[in-house]
Amino acid sequence: MTEMMRCLVKDKSEVGLWMQRRPIPKIGPEDVLIRIRKTGICGTDIHIWNWDDWSRKAVSLGIITGHEFSGEIVEIGANVKDLKLGQRCSGEGHLIGNKSRQARAGTFHLDPETMGVGVNTDGAFAEYIRLPAFNTVKLPESISDEIGAILDPLGNAVHTALSFDLVGEDVLITGAGPIGIMAAAVARFAGARNIVITDINQERLDLANNVVDAVTVNVMSQSLTDTMSKLNLKQGFDVGLEMSGSSAAFNQMVSALVTGGKIAMLGIPPSKTEVDWSQIVFKSIIIKGIYGREIFETWYKMIVMLERGLDVSKVITKEIPANKYKEGFNTMLAGGSGKIIMDWAH
Ligand SMILES: [Zn+2]
């Protein structure tokens, strides 16, 4: 008899996800089978839950969702040499090809053939996931299962924050969602001077204050310019990390940067956003788009920083058993929450 597992499936063309029973995946010679311990709910999962325009185009019905996870290896493919049964792990959720120019050059995160776990192939909101051994990342003992389950978004934060030199720099972060807050923690760890984080949601800013030593500004009620003069920022911020996808936030960032400032942009703005391009040109601003994590340099740096004291644990604000997933999604949908962890062992 085939062994079955619980998993969260996008089963119908409507709002929601559905807990189902499916056979435990069979692995190929280059794969491992991971028993999932904890998973994180991502903004991407919320898009899929809401079944918005993006997810209708990107996701095929019937897929197991989820891509942020930690677990342990319970089966190893015949050709896999360097992994052992019982190894605690997380994993890179972008499955890359080996044909494109970028993949062959070793810049795996730029591979246009990338497939997303939990988006294009079966994901991690399940008791088990099949993953190529290549994508598996070992967890040292000092990294908990909970933190292991949020390395995907922490990796986004690390990739964005470390895109430009932050040592001694003044950094503006727009968007105090979990990734913005974790990026502030990384900027602090990396040696930035002033870190200012903006949002329009006070709950998120309160969470930011709880997690990281940064100045928070609610741009609905406070002036960023006042904060800048209080901090004695004469010219502006050196580096901007755009995490909100809001065009208003992006334009405010452009105005608040120094001449020659740099922006790393993870937030996804609405497709036809109005931008004051003349300011970008006259201020010689460099803008870098960020997608995913550098495979596997971001993972390497992230794990070293965690082992050396980077602490983002307070960004996790709720943990629930997987069967209560609706409660987790509803909390996320209400806005203002930090990361929510689902426990698959209970
Ligand atoms: Zn994610």
Q: What CATH architecture applies to the domain 164-289?
A: 3-Layer(aba) Sandwich (3.40)
In percent, the amount of the chain with pLDDT more than 70 equals 100
1, pLDDT greater than 70: no
Angle at 189 between CA 183 and CA 193, to 5 degrees: 90
Residue 234 CA to ligand 1 centre (angstroms): 37
255, pLDDT greater than 90: yes
Summarised one tens digit per residue, pLDDT across range 35-75 is 999 999 999 999 999 999 999 999 999 999 999 999 999 99
State the pLDDT at residue 271. Answer: 78
Question: Can you say how many angstroms the Cα of residue 135 is from the centroid of all Cα atoms in its chain?
Answer: 16
27, pLDDT greater than 90: yes
State the pLDDT at residue 270. Answer: 83
Please determine whether the domains at 4-150+312-343 and 164-289 fall in the same fold group of CATH: no
Residue 133 CA to ligand 1 centre (angstroms): 20
Secondary structure (3-state) at 229: helix
State the pLDDT at residue 272. Answer: 84
Q: Contact 124/147 with Cβ under 8 angstroms?
A: no
Active site residues: 44, 47
State the pLDDT at residue 2. Answer: 78
322 Cβ partners below 8 Å, 6+ apart? 6, 8, 19, 39, 125, 342, 343, 344, 346
pTM for this entry: 0.96
Residue 290 CA to ligand 1 centre (angstroms): 14
In percent, the amount of the chain with pLDDT more than 90 equals 96
Adjacent-strand bridge partners of 72: 35, 88
> Domain boundaries in the chain?
4-150+312-343, 164-289
The owner of tokens 């709720």 is 318
Q: Contact 154/302 with Cβ under 8 angstroms?
A: yes
Summarised one tens digit per residue, pLDDT across range 142-196 is 999 999 999 999 999 999 999 999 999 999 999 999 999 999 999 999 999 999 9
8, pLDDT greater than 70: yes
Residue 277 CA to ligand 1 centre (angstroms): 30
Q: Could you say which of 3.40.50.720, 3.30.499.10, 3.30.479.30, 3.90.180.10 is the CATH number of the domain covering 4-150+312-343?
A: 3.90.180.10
Rounded alpha-carbon distances, angstroms, from residue 163 to 54, 101, 197: 27, 22, 17
Residue 43 CA to ligand 1 centre (angstroms): 6
